[in-house]
Amino acid sequence: MKKLLLVLLSLILILSLAACGNDQGEEPSAEEELTVGFIYVGPIGDGGWTYAHNEGRLYLEENMNVKTIYKESVPETQEVEQEIRNMIDQGAEAIFATSFGYMDYIEKVSKDYPEVAFFHCSGYKTTENLATYFGRIYEPRYLSGIVAGLKTETNQIGYVAAYPIPEVIRGINAFTLGAQSVNPDVTVSVKWTSTWYDPAIEKEAAVALIDEGADVIAQHQDTTGPQQAAEERGVYSIGYNTDMAEMAPEAYMTAPIWNWGPYYVEQVQNVIDGSFESHQYWGGIEDNIVELAPLTDLAPDEAQEKIDESKTEILNDELLVFEGPIYDQEGNLKVEEGQNLSVEEMLNMMWFVEGVEGNIE
Amino acid sequence: MLVNILKASLVAGTPLLLATLGELITEKAGNLNLGVEGMMLVGAISGFALGFYFQNPYMALIGASLSGSFAALIYGFLTITLRSNQVVSGLSLTIFGTGLSSFLGTNFVGKKMPVEVINFFKPIEIPLISKIPIIGEVLFNQDIYVYFSYILAVFLGIYLFKTRKGLNLTAIGENPSAADAAGIKIDLYKYIHILIGGALCGLGGAYLSVVQVPTWQENITAGRGWIAIALVIFSKWNPFKSIYGAYLFGGLSIIGFRIQYLNISQNLLNMLPYIVTIVVLVFSSLNKSKEGSPPKSLSLPYFREER
pLDDT digits (tens, 9 = 90+) for A129-150: 999 999 999 999 999 999 999 9
- Residue A302 domain flag: yes
Q: Domain holding A213: CATH number?
A: 3.40.50.2300
Report the pLDDT value the prediction gives residue A138, as an integer from 0 to 100: 95
Percent of chain A predicted with pLDDT > 70: 91
| Closest residue on chain B to A161 (Cα) | B257
Choose among B286, B287, B264, B284: nearest CA to B276. B284
Report the pLDDT value the prediction gives residue A11, as an integer from 0 to 100: 61
B266 touches A: beta carbon within 8 Å: yes
- Residue A14 domain flag: no
Residues A57 and A197 in one domain: no
Confidence of residue B1 (pLDDT cuts 50, 70, 90): confident
Percent of chain A predicted with pLDDT > 90: 74
Helix (H) or strand (E) holding A93: strand A92-97
B293 touches A: beta carbon within 8 Å: no
pLDDT tens digits for range A67-94: 999 999 898 999 999 999 999 999 999 9
| Closest residue on chain A to B122 (Cα) | A232
- Residue A20 domain flag: no
Asked whether residue B164 carries a pLDDT value surpassing 60, the answer given is yes
Asked whether residue A5 carries a pLDDT value surpassing 70, the answer given is no
- CA distance to partner chain B, nearest, from residue A50 (Å): 11
- CA distance to partner chain B, nearest, from residue A230 (Å): 11
- CA distance to partner chain B, nearest, from residue A163 (Å): 10
- CA distance to partner chain B, nearest, from residue A208 (Å): 6
What is the DSSP-derived secondary structure letter of residue B207? I
B119 touches A: beta carbon within 8 Å: no
Q: Tell how strand A290-292 and strand A256-258 pair up.
A: antiparallel
**Mean pLDDT of the A13-37 span:** 58
How many Cβ atoms are within 10 Å of A274's Cβ, its own excluded?
6
Asked whether residue A26 carries a pLDDT value surpassing 50, the answer given is no
Residues A71 and A108 in one domain: yes
- CA distance to partner chain B, nearest, from residue A201 (Å): 7
* Phi–psi pair at B150, nearest 5 degrees: -80, -30
Residue among B12, B214, B263 minimizing CB distance to A204: B12
- Residue A15 domain flag: no
Residues A207 and A298 in one domain: yes
Partner-chain contact B215 A43, CB within 8 Å: no
- CA distance to partner chain B, nearest, from residue A101 (Å): 19
Residues A90 and A111 in one domain: yes
Report the pLDDT value the prediction gives residue A197, as an integer from 0 to 100: 86
**Mean pLDDT of the A112-130 span:** 93
Contacts of A359 in chain B (CB under 8 A): 260, 263, 266
Residues A96 and A64 in one domain: yes
pLDDT tens digits for range A315-348: 998 888 999 899 999 999 999 988 899 888 888 8
Residues A170 and A279 in one domain: no
pLDDT tens digits for range A151-197: 999 999 999 999 998 999 999 999 999 999 999 999 999 999 988 88
pTM for the model stands at 0.84
Average pLDDT, chain A: 89
Residues A229 and A300 in one domain: yes
- Residue A9 domain flag: no
Number of domains in chain A: 2
pLDDT tens digits for range B198-228: 999 999 999 999 999 898 888 899 889 999 9
Residues A123 and A144 in one domain: no
Contacts of A192 in chain B (CB under 8 A): 256, 266
B191 touches A: beta carbon within 8 Å: no
Contacts of B267 in chain A (CB under 8 A): 361
pLDDT tens digits for range B79-119: 999 999 999 999 999 999 999 999 999 888 878 899 999 99
Confidence of residue A13 (pLDDT cuts 50, 70, 90): low
List the domain range (segments joined by +) for residue A54. 34-135+259-287
Report the pLDDT value the prediction gives residue A15, as an integer from 0 to 100: 56
Average pLDDT, chain B: 92
**Mean pLDDT of the B38-47 span:** 97
Confidence of residue A234 (pLDDT cuts 50, 70, 90): very high
Residues A76 and A197 in one domain: no
Which stretches of chain A sit within 8 Å of chain B by CB?
A: 42-47, 51, 73, 164, 191-192, 194-195, 197-201, 203-205, 207-209, 211, 223-225, 228, 244, 246-249, 358-359, 361
Q: Final residue of a domain: which of A270, A287, A304?
A: A287
Asked whether residue B191 carries a pLDDT value surpassing 90, the answer given is yes
Residues A311 and A347 in one domain: yes
Contacts of A225 in chain B (CB under 8 A): 213, 217
Asked whether residue A212 carries a pLDDT value surpassing 60, the answer given is yes
Q: What is the ipTM of this complex?
A: 0.86
Kindly list the structural domains of chain B, giving each domain's residue range(s) and its CATH number in brackets, ordered by start.
2-297 (1.10.3470)
The Cα diameter of chain B in Å comes to: 63
Is-contact A221 A48, C-beta < 8 A? yes
Highest mean pLDDT among A27-36, A245-254, A300-309: A300-309
- CA distance to partner chain B, nearest, from residue A316 (Å): 36
- Residue A5 domain flag: no
Identity (one letter) of the amino acid at B119? N
Partner-chain contact A223 B217, CB within 8 Å: yes
Q: Final residue of a domain: which of A268, A287, A306?
A: A287
Confidence of residue A99 (pLDDT cuts 50, 70, 90): very high
Residues A266 and A319 in one domain: no
- Residue A344 domain flag: yes
| DSSP letters spanning B139-171 | HHEE-HHHHHHHHHHHHHHHHHHHSHHHHHHHH
Confidence of residue A22 (pLDDT cuts 50, 70, 90): very low
Residue among B4, B253, B260 minimizing CB distance to A191: B260
Partner-chain contact B217 A205, CB within 8 Å: no
| Closest residue on chain B to A160 (Cα) | B257
Report the pLDDT value the prediction gives residue A344, as an integer from 0 to 100: 86
Distance CA B28, CA B192 (A): 12
The residue ranking higher by pLDDT, B194 or B275, is: B194
Report the pLDDT value the prediction gives residue B50, as an integer from 0 to 100: 96
- Residue A16 domain flag: no
B163 touches A: beta carbon within 8 Å: no
Residues A180 and A328 in one domain: yes
B251 touches A: beta carbon within 8 Å: no
> Strands, E, within B87-129: which ranges?
124-125
Q: Final residue of a domain: which of A287, A307, A336?
A: A287
